[in-house]
Amino acid sequence: MTLKVSMKMLILLVSAISLAWRSHGVEGEISISEEEDAELERQLKIINKPAIKVIKTHYGDIYDCVDINKQPAFDHPLLKNHKIQMRPTSFPKGLFDKASSSSVEQPSNVMPSEIGLKNRCPPGSVPIRRTRKEDLIRVKQNPSDFQPLTDRASGHTFASNYVNSVPYHGAGALIAVYNPTILNDQFSSAVMWIQNGEKNTLNSIQVGWTVNHALHGDNRTRLFTYWTVDGYQRTGCFDTRCPGFVQVSTEMAPGLAFENTSLIDGPKYITKVVIYQITWYRDSSTGNWWLSFSENNVHIGYWPKSLFTGLATSASYVIWGGEVYSPSSSGEDSPPMGSGLLPFKGGKEACFFNGLQVIYDSELKDPIPSLLHKRKIANRYCYDADEVEKYNDMYYYFHFGGPGGQNCGF
Ligand SMILES: *[C@@H]1O[C@H](CO)[C@@H](O)[C@H](O)[C@H]1NC(C)=O
Ligand SMILES: *[C@@H]1O[C@H](CO)[C@@H](O)[C@H](O)[C@H]1NC(C)=O
């Protein structure tokens, strides 16, 4: 009990200390008092669970194989008596069909980007990236990097398309994977948002790729997830940085790096992400939101229904697009989005989403064209997104991105 309450305290504490520390100046020159150091050690003991096995990736990440029933998710007060679901019990029609329109043949220079641990965790355990002291310090220094707010939030800029109205139980897309260059206090992402509600009651689940030094400690392009149930106020966080997301895969985890990234006018690497809700009414797991890689049927894990309010029932809209962040007070150029080139360059040079699909009426389907909308773009010379179009009667797609620069926000 004390442990579970302390997660909330921890978040408050982290934000309190961050204010004190930000005044100490640039990264690397931080001086930590003995007291602060002891507090960090205490936090790390709560966050990092005992490892059955330790896996190191070739790029230096450390993953602890943690007992599946003792993973960080279960520190969440709402998941105290949660019964873990080892795999999805039902699928929307068409989701894993080879013939579904999102599985259409890609050109030969378009390949899936490799991702995943080469060494799996032993059965009964799941890989969780170990949090180090320097990770906590970076979070404290860049608190707003951890708040992918709405498009009115300062420092965040979006170029995206969305589909609304029908109650949705999931969505999927193929995303081209790039590695835009960012400064250490910025991020640049390609994201699929599944949402319900507005403002303080906004429920949001997000998945995609991101380059986010503050979050991950390097400039690699990584798989990320995010969730919130109160419009980013008090709940939610990236990956498994706070309790909530229940991981079941022994080889895939949020935060892993994509091994291959696309080059402008070179080979294109893509990733396929799918999020869907169990809706079979007789199932006790109804309402859980699963994250899967449908290309190879890997189920990474799920967000339990009990975390959510609006999303416990369904999503009311889905967004696909790019998001960048740069502290608005920094005077820095806004970072590149996607490949760094504007959408008019086309799929050879600009980043893209394709195979856009949504789940409604228990089936994976193309979005209804009349419900597709393009969001407002702040400055078309910085970032833009094409309108969604249908390619050769096969799948829905659009290009997005741009170079960034000065005066790119609202
Ligand atoms: C990431 O890229 C930025 C800008 O190029 C650079 O300043 C920074 O040192 C890089 N960080 C790492 C960890 O490589
Ligand atoms: C992807 O990257 C990995 C690791 O760098 C490499 O071994 C592999 O050959 C690459 N795959 C392709 C298709 O380029």
Residue 38: the pLDDT is: 94
Q: Is 332 in the pocket of ligand 1 (CB under 6 A)?
A: no
The per-residue pLDDT string of the chain (410 residues; one tens digit each, 9 = 90 and over) reads 333 434 443 443 344 333 333 334 344 456 788 998 999 999 999 999 999 999 999 999 999 999 999 999 999 999 998 999 998 887 777 776 654 444 556 677 889 999 999 999 999 999 999 999 999 988 888 777 666 656 666 788 888 999 988 899 999 999 999 999 999 999 999 999 999 999 899 999 999 999 999 999 999 999 999 999 998 888 888 998 889 999 999 999 999 999 999 999 899 999 999 999 988 766 667 899 999 976 667 899 999 999 999 999 999 999 999 999 998 888 899 999 999 999 999 989 999 999 999 999 888 999 999 999 998 888 899 999 999 999 887 889 999 999 999 988 75
CATH of segment(s) 94-117+140-401: 2.60.120
Q: Which one of 57, 110, 114 would you pick to mutate in the ligand 2 pocket, going by the greatest count of ligand atoms within 8 A of its CB?
A: 114
Residue 138: nearest ligand to its CA? 1
- Per-residue pLDDT, 294: 64
Going by C-alpha positions, the residue among 401, 404, 409 that lies closest to residue 190 is 401
Residue 98 is predicted with a pLDDT of 54
Measured from the alpha carbon of residue 259, the closest ligand is: 2
Mutation test residue for ligand 1: of 184, 185, 330, the one with most atoms within 8 Å of CB: 184
Ligand nearest to the CA of 262: 2
**N-term to C-term CA, the chain:** 44
For ligand 1, the distance from its centroid to the CA atom of residue 217, given in whole angstroms, is 10
Give the separation between CA 162 and CA 118, rounded to whole angstroms.
35
Q: Which of 208, 268, 198, 270 is nearest to 231 (CA)?
A: 198
Structure tokens, 129: 């990236």
Residues with CB under 6 A from ligand 2: 111, 114, 259-260
| Confidence at residue 108, expressed as pLDDT on a 0 to 100 scale | 74
Q: What is the pLDDT of residue 366?
A: 93
**Does any ligand 1 atom lie closer than 6 A to the CB of residue 216?**
no
Alpha carbon distance 326, 330 (integer Å) = 8
Q: Of the bound ligands, which one is closest to the alpha carbon of residue 60? A: 1
Q: What is the pTM of this model?
A: 0.90
Shortest-distance Cα residue to atom 1 of ligand 2 = 260
Atom of ligand 2 nearest to the CA of 259: 2
What stretch of H or E contains 131?
A: none
Quote the pLDDT of residue 20.
37
Query: Which among 213, 332, 334 is the best mutation to test ligand 1's pocket, defined by most ligand atoms within 8 Å of the CB?
Result: 213
User: Burial letters for 380-407: b for 16+ Cβ neighbours within 10 Å, e otherwise?
Assistant: eebbbbbebeeeeeebbbbbbbbbbeee
User: Which residue has its alpha carbon closest to ligand 1 atom 12?
Assistant: 218
Longest CA span, the chain: 64
Distance 96 CA to ligand 1 centre (A): 39
Phi and psi, residue 42, nearest 5°: -65, -45
